[in-house]
Structure 1
Amino acid sequence: MTTSGPAGQGLRLIPFHGLRYVPERVGSLAAVTSPPYDVVVRPDGLNHLESADPHNIVRLILPQAATPDARNEQAARTLADWLAEGVLHADPEPALYVYEQRRDGMVQRGVIGALALSPAEAGIVLPHEDVMPHVVTDRAGLMRATSANLEPLLLTYPGEGAHTGAAAVIEAVADREPLLSTTTEDGFHHRLWALTDPAELAAVTGDLAHRQALIADGHHRWATYLRLQSEQTGPSPWDYGLVLLVDTTQYPLQVRAIHRMLRRLPVADALAALAGSFRVQQVEGPLETAMTALAGAAAGGNAFLVTGDGTFHLVTDPDPELIERTVRTDRPEAWRRLDATVLHATLLDHLWHVPDEPEHIAYIHDTAATVEMAERNGGTAVLMHPVREEVVRDLARQGVTMPRKSTSFGPKPATGLVLRALD
């Protein structure tokens, strides 16, 4: 993927007054953080986070009430109360924020700022997945009500080495005393620094001004940013959105799959519908062993692991004629061969007749949680193998979006370390 935007344009990142928890007003910084809203596995994960601290950020990103309007109003009241009580406080000086995640020898660093929004067609920010309109509507209602960006998108770009531009500044800042340091229960150690020096800010923003970025995580939030910007009648704070930018030349991201849990399809019915169209073979457990079998099968073509009844079934070798009939032909061959493409076009739409709607499908990042939820609800877990990052980037460069929830890039930033208020 090229690193520069069209006609010399590129990313425009500006400092902002970060909204952060006041450590003395909460139990601990770790106890008020959360994974991104779409990674929290309901209801168990949500209940666990809510009970971790009365000020946990999930009370803003996933408020609990009977209707969407009530949820949004509750989040807005909660945010206003926390500001009035001094639980959250805006940094006095606008800054970009250097952010580090570290675990088991892995280190990832990037810079958080307010990014000028541009439509995807401009080629500056490249999406690679489709979005679900109802999720964008939901997120837009929450952002309108709170007038805040509550969690950053994760964007990536290929830099040019540790000793130039933004990378050099980020590495230098990481040797200083951080604003905050905390370790969350997933074992990740997080550090955050405020970047306010004019020369360093100029080095970072000048470097990024010639680059384009790939959306690694947060397609729905990006679409929400653009929708809310389009509602404004003139220049406004909605012309910018909160992002974390990571140079993947320095810090390559991991790519994981996002699994599906089919709420109303029992495993026996799912397997019966595959007869004559796919090869189905039972594989040994436990889950880790079955996932190893899935990885081996995925090297040779489309492969899925179906479970939910205590057994594991490897689904491979789709009928080529069926694929030809069910998968659209106006896309690149690499897109037509994607597991997510075949899953949605051939399995969900044609063989299983499962609508892509929340009451029918749950999208879950954690493998074990997907299986547990399927077993608890009598549904079917469809476990996926991750797409190679080079495939994602190549399709994005061509302007081709993958089926929704095709990939999970990580590690994802913790939610709650720095927010952006638009007021």
Structure 2
Amino acid sequence: METFKIKSVVSKITFSIFFSIFVSSITSFKSLGKTNEADSTVINIDKRNQTLLNSKNPNRSLKEDLQELFQKNGMNLDDDTWKGIRRVVNSELSKDTVLVITQNNKSINVAINAKADETVTSSNASSGQSSRRVYNGNSNNGSNVKIGLGGVHVKDGSDEVHVSWNGVLVKDGNDEVKVMLKDSAKVNKREQGFSSRSGFNIYFGFNSFANTGSISGIYNSKDFELSPFGSRYFGFGWTRSGMISKGTKAALKISYGLEVSWNNFMFENDNYLVKGGNNIEFANYLDSKGNVIPLSRNKLTVANINIPIMPYVAFRKNSVVTYIAAGGYVGYRIDSYTKTKEEDGGYKRWNHSSFYLNNLRYGLAFELGLKNFPDLFVNYDLNKLYQDGRGPGISGVSFGIRL
């Protein structure tokens, strides 16, 4: 087919048709499905009133009615599908739209009508193929748009354009041109529907000490008392996940990555941490006359680079618990310092030192993913914070949320 023929076909498809494709297919393209479905059920929605036409219970919301109809057809109205339907319902009130939603070879035609007295016919039972046209109240224009999980099909007279995950097909009568983009067999192998720990992660939380019973002898337990809200934890990193096994409702995965973290231990008392000759010590903050200066900030910060390895069970994204992870981590200290701030003058001082801290860090980690809520995490160091004989045998604990 000549180039000018392709251009003439595309030019016949108006901007308004493409805009309706974009609005109507935002959600449909989030998941993949087969293009050949069994006969589908038609659901008619009144766009202006945002209600289901012929609803048996007028006191129920539109979402509740849709959930019931989806369940009757062996399908699930997940959050992404509902958001997509809501986008179309709230879009141009003068336009009618049809969304074809397919799950497990079952499909539903969601007809979103601008006028309550207009409905869309169901699929052709004799051919076994679903009708996917936009009913726009003007059937004599010779144009229609078919939207489904298999792609978008635009027809204007004898000219057609079909866009799918495989590529683009342009037809002008008996002539056609195909542009293949990707292999559908590979696309269908994607992991769909299960939660994942992959991506960029940010951690916010708090720190505390474990094994505080080891503080004895030359150490005063009051020196190690921490401010609960001042002892904050912050970290960020990148994580990848791999599939181990997959079922219908859950999947076993393993994640790994690279993270950087800062453990801030904010001491309650004015005695600040120093590196002594053989072990750590706490000293008074004195002025030039030897008077004790009260401190508004007195903390130890330990920065580490960590490698987490977390096997986890991932559930469907619409589950209340999206995943449960339990694993471990190993890290290395890249910096440590104390920071003090005078209560009156506000003078700040930083002191970078090893403070006899162990360079190697390792421990256990637990995470819980929740729907519509930040994920929760707990890290428990198995090794001691300080070198043997250089400080008490305490270890670190951090907990908080993961974004």
| TM-score interval for Structure 1 and Structure 2 normalised by the shorter chain | under 0.3
Of Structure 1 and Structure 2, which has the larger fraction of its residues in strand?
2
- Structure 1 or 2, whichever has the larger Rg, is 2
How high is the TM-score relative to the length of structure 2?
A: 0.19
